[in-house]
Every structure is written in C-alpha cells, then in structure tokens.
Amino acid sequence: MTIPTITLNNGVAMPQLGLGTARVEDEEVRRIVGTALGLGYRLIDSAAKYENELGVGQGIVDAVVPREELFITSKLRGRDQGFASTKAALAQTLDQLGLDHVDLYLIHWPLPRVDNYVESWRAMQDLLAEGLTRAIGVSNFLPEHLDRLAAETTIVPAVNQIELHPQLPQREQIADNTRRGIVTESWSPLANAGALLKDPVLAEIGERHGRSPVQVVLAWHLRQGLVVIPKASQEERLRANLDVFDIELTAQDVAQIDALETGVRVGGQDPSTHEEF
C-alpha cells in the first residue's frame, strides 16, 4: 500500500493520509500505532497535549519501520509557548517518542490572548535549522495570526492543521493557506464520527461507489488536496480508511456533500478564543 504524498513548501514530502492519536491512552495508542504502521500508515499525528507520546513511540518501535519512511508530527502545547520553553518542549517530546527528530512540529493553538506565538515561532525556526524537525507549521491559525508570522518572522509555515470536514469545509481558510504556500491538514476529518456519518446522503453516495460513508468523506478531503488524519482504533477501520485512493467522486457527489455544510465546529473550539494548555 503506497500512500500519495504532498510536497511541502520546503520540499519535504508528507503522506496525504495518516493516523490521528487524540484521546487514547499510552497502552491503547501503542497497539493502534503498531497496527497502523503494519498496514502501511506512515504519517502519525501526535501532540504533547495528548499525553500519550510514550505509547506512540513504543508503537513505532514495535512496528520496526525504517525511520526514513515515517512521518511523525508533534505539537507544541499551550503551556510551553515562549522561546526557551518551545525548545525544551520539543526536547521532551523527542525523549518521549524515542526519536532524534520529528518530521513536522506544529504550534497547537495560537492562544492570541497569551500573545506568545510569534516568539514560539522564532524558536520553531531554530529547531528547523538545528535538524530537530524536518518541517514546521501551525494548527488552528487564522489569517490574522498568519499575517503576524509573515510580518515578524522569516519562515512561512509548511502546514496549517485545522478542523475541517463536510460540515465545516473551511473554504476561505484553505484559500488563504494556499495563497501563502501552506498545506492544509484536516483535523477531525470525520467530524469525530458524529451525526455527519449518519447522513443518508453519504450512505447513498457510498452505495453508488460500493464504499462506506467514512470512505466517501475521506475521498472528499483527498480530492481537494488536503492532508487527512482520521483516528480509528480497530484494525478493520484502519484498513478501510486506507482503501480510499481510487474513489472518484462525481461533480454531483461533491455538490451533495458540500450541501452538508452547517458551519458548526464539533467541539465548539473557535481559534480566536479557544484556550488549552
């Protein structure tokens, strides 16, 4: 199984589909990561805030995949924002993961009230230069936050990881990211398996293609050139989520999926106000 890649603005190739690891404890995430890598996943989306990077690292060891084939993302949690603390945070994440570098390091949330993301970004630029990460990016950044990075720092983020699914298609943010040369990565791509997946429209489209609603939604992301990181805990689901690269949605399918937009954020987390540390 070969997963297509997307080339980031610094030339690094990133798999277009990977595994999410939020809200899973160490032992469980170890099993899931090991299983996923065995099935052919290479991108693992991790974060210090998930407090399970030890388990992610153990899953990586269990799978015995050559390091250069892996694409490991981690994120700077809110409480570690700041110049020196950003550097210390990545050192701790690498220690937990058992790695000497990650492939992508993201600022998890902008936390505009705290107003420390520009200083954190300066440290991220150093971490990139030091080879401790192969690419740097952001998560949940709005155009106004990207504007400040552009005005006050030198490196354009490679990725902006944002909540994105048919209910919240984020067309304007995608266009803004693209204009800046930033790849958009969809978090909660399945809207966290809520009401969206029960919508009869997805079942109907799925029937036409001989696929499930989940697979239809993943195909919708991929055809837009988005990077997607569904979280799944069972082998059968992990396998099904990889079996999506040959789905060719018609213009009519896409129009029907686009009509599912509600504008609602699954967890109600608005980046201009959401705070987590």
Interface with ligand NAP by CB under 6 A: which range of 122-130, 149-157, 226-234, 243-251? Answer: 226-234
Looking up tokens 């945070």, which residue turns up?
Answer: 89
Instruction: Note whether 94 and 101 are within 8 A (CB).
Output: yes
Among 81, 120, 188, 256, binds ligand NAP (CB under 6 A): 188
Q: Which of residues 42-81 bind ligand NAP (CB under 6 A)?
A: 45
50 belongs to the catalytic site: yes
Interface with ligand NAP by CB under 6 A: which range of 35-43, 76-84, 148-156, 234-242? Answer: 234-242
Among 114, 240, 254, 261, binds ligand NAP (CB under 6 A): 240
Backbone φ/ψ region at 228: left (φ over 0), alpha (ψ -120 to 50), beta: beta
Among 7, 10, 178, 234, binds ligand NAP (CB under 6 A): 234
- CA distances, 210 to each of 196, 204, 206, 242, 272 (Å): 19, 10, 6, 15, 40
Interface with ligand NAP by CB under 6 A: which range of 76-84, 118-126, 219-227, 229-237? Answer: 229-237
Task: Report the relative pairing of strands 5-7 and 13-15 from DSSP bridges.
Answer: antiparallel
Among 99, 189, 206, 220, binds ligand NAP (CB under 6 A): 189
Token representation of residue 238: 């992990």
Return all residues near 270 (Cβ < 8 A) that are at least 6 apart: none
Helix (H/G/I), strand (E/B), else coil: 183: strand
Catalytic residues: 50
Q: What are the residues binding ligand NAP (CB under 6 A)?
A: 20-22, 45, 108, 139-140, 161, 187-193, 214, 229-234, 237, 240-241
